[in-house]
Amino acid sequence: MRRQRTTAVKKNDGNSGWSGQAGGIGGLRRIWRAGVYSRDGLIAAFRHEAAFRQELLLIIPLLPLALWLPASGPGKALMLASLLLVLIVELLNSAIEAVVDRISTERHPLAKRAKDLGSAAVLIALLNVPVVWLLVLFG
């Protein structure tokens, strides 16, 4: 049974799932755990974030299209990176929203600002996709 990560900083005995201190478990075990936590994050995003699912539905057909279109290798890489950037920024935005909601469900100007800034970052990432694609395909 996998230990749950805690949110408090505690002494790192090498057996905890997460520690706020530097050091701790190393090598392959640390890499394995990081992979498990990343998988958990992707699953949580898919299950609980409608925007992530919508962006994924938009991006899935565009990934093979980016490889099929007549562009140079670096151009294709830029097109793919622009798509993946949307998902990365959406994951970060979802994390910001989750932390803000965890701290308080009360309306507060700073909470609104944090959520609005995250949303603006997603918008910029989305607007970046057609700009990159058009520049790669039509110079």
pLDDT of the residue at 24:
64
The pTM score is: 0.78
pLDDT of the residue at 1:
46
**From CA 50, how far away is CA 138, in angstroms rounded?**
33
Q: Choose among 48, 115, 59, 117: nearest CA to 87.
A: 59
30 is in an annotated binding site: yes
Handedness of CA 122, 68, 53, 99 (dihedral sign): negative
Is 52 within 8 Å of 90 (Cβ atoms)? yes
Residue type for position 119: S
Q: Is 78 tagged catalytic?
A: no
> If pLDDT is split at 50, 70 and 90, which confidence band does 105 have?
confident
49 is in an annotated binding site: yes
Q: One of 79, 89, 90, 91 is an active-site residue; which one?
A: 90
What is the mean pLDDT of the segment spanning 108-114? 93
CATH 1.10.287.3610 fits 50-138, yes or no: yes
Domain-by-domain residue ranges, the chain? 1-48, 50-138
106 is in an annotated binding site: yes
Q: Rounded to the nearest 10 degrees, how much is the dihedral formed by the CA atoms of 46, 51, 55, 57?
A: 60
